[in-house]
Structure 1
Amino acid sequence: MAFHVHTSTPRFHFVYAAALLVVMSALLVAADQYVKVSNDSTGFVFDNEDFYFKGINFWESVWLAMPEESGGNRTRLHCELDTLASMGLNGIRILGSSLGPNSEPYRWKPALFPEPSKQDESVFKGLDYLLHSLKKRNMKAIVSLSDFWHDSGGFGHYIKSLDQNHLLTSGLEGKGNDSGKLFIRTHSSPYLDFATVHLWRRMGETGVDNTKLLKQIQSRSSNNIQR
Structure 2
Amino acid sequence: MVRRRTILRNGSTIAGSLALPGFASASSDTAASRPDDFLETNGTSFSIGRRSHYLSGTNNFWLADVWTTRDEVDAALDQAAALGLNTVRTWAFCAGREGHCFQPTKGEYNEAAFEHLDYVIEAAAKRGIRLILPLANNWGAYGGMEKYVEWSDTAEEHDDFYTDPEARQLYRDFVKKVVTRTNSISGIQYTEDPTVAMWELGNEPRAQQKGVDVLGDWIKEISGYIKDLDPNHLVSTGMEGFYNSDGDDWLRDGSQGTAYVDHHRIDTIDACSFHLYPDHWGVTPEYGTEWIEDHVRDARQRVGKPAYLGEFGIQVDRDASDAEQIARRNEIYDTWYDRLDDLDADGGVVWQLTLKKRAQYDDGFYVFPDDDRTTRRIERFANRMDAKSGRPLHADQKRRRTRHD
Instruction: Provide the aligned C-alpha RMSD in A.
Output: 3.1
Matches of 2:94 and 2:36, distance apart in 1? 33
Matches of 1:199 and 1:217, distance apart in 2? 14
Matched, 1:135 2:139: no
Matches of 2:222 and 2:165, distance apart in 1? 11
1:116–1:161 Cα contact (<8 Å) kept: yes
Q: 2:7 aligns with which of 24, 28, 35?
A: 28
Aligned length: 189
Report the AA paired with residue 156 of structure 2: H
Deviation at 1:58, TM superposition (A): 0.8
CA separation of 1:179 and 1:100: change in aligned 2, threshold 3 A = closer
1:144–1:204 Cα contact (<8 Å) kept: yes
Bigger Rg, which one: 2
Superposed, 1:1-227 pairs within 5 Å as: 28-29=7-8, 33-38=37-42, 40=43, 42-63=44-65, 72-102=68-98, 109-163=99-153, 166-167=156-157, 168=159, 172-174=163-165, 177-190=168-181, 191-207=190-206, 209-210=212-213, 213=217, 214-225=219-230
Matches of 2:89 and 2:6, distance apart in 1? 20
Report the AA paired with residue 62 of structure 2: E
**CA-to-partner distance for each residue in 1:162-201, whole Å, 9 max, x for gaps?**
2375233597454984333333323212211111011011
CA separation of 1:74 and 1:32: change in aligned 2, threshold 3 A = closer
CA separation of 1:164 and 1:219: change in aligned 2, threshold 3 A = closer
CA separation of 1:172 and 1:117: change in aligned 2, threshold 3 A = closer
What SS class does the counterpart of residue 98 from structure 1 fall into?
coil
1:54–1:90 Cα contact (<8 Å) kept: yes
Between the two proteins, what is the percent identity of the paired residues? 20
**CA-to-partner distance for each residue in 1:4-48, whole Å, 9 max, x for gaps?**
xxxxxxxxxxxxxxxxxxxxx87835997221111x2x1210133
What SS class does the counterpart of residue 130 from structure 1 fall into?
helix
CA separation of 1:77 and 1:170: change in aligned 2, threshold 3 A = closer
**CA-to-partner distance for each residue in 1:77-121, whole Å, 9 max, x for gaps?**
21221111111111111111201232xxxxxx5321111122221
Deviation at 1:220, TM superposition (A): 4.4
TM superposition score normalised by structure 2: 0.41
Matches of 2:142 and 2:154, distance apart in 1? 18
Matches of 2:101 and 2:53, distance apart in 1? 33
CA separation of 1:127 and 1:170: change in aligned 2, threshold 3 A = closer
Report the AA paired with residue 55 of structure 1: G
What SS class does the counterpart of residue 123 from structure 2 fall into?
helix
What SS class does the counterpart of residue 181 from structure 1 fall into?
helix
1:26–1:195 Cα contact (<8 Å) kept: no
CA separation of 1:32 and 1:113: change in aligned 2, threshold 3 A = closer
1:145–1:200 Cα contact (<8 Å) kept: yes
1:27–1:194 Cα contact (<8 Å) kept: no
What SS class does the counterpart of residue 106 from structure 2 fall into?
coil
CA separation of 1:169 and 1:159: change in aligned 2, threshold 3 A = closer
Deviation at 1:60, TM superposition (A): 1.1
Deviation at 1:217, TM superposition (A): 4.5
2:93–2:142 Cα contact (<8 Å) kept: yes
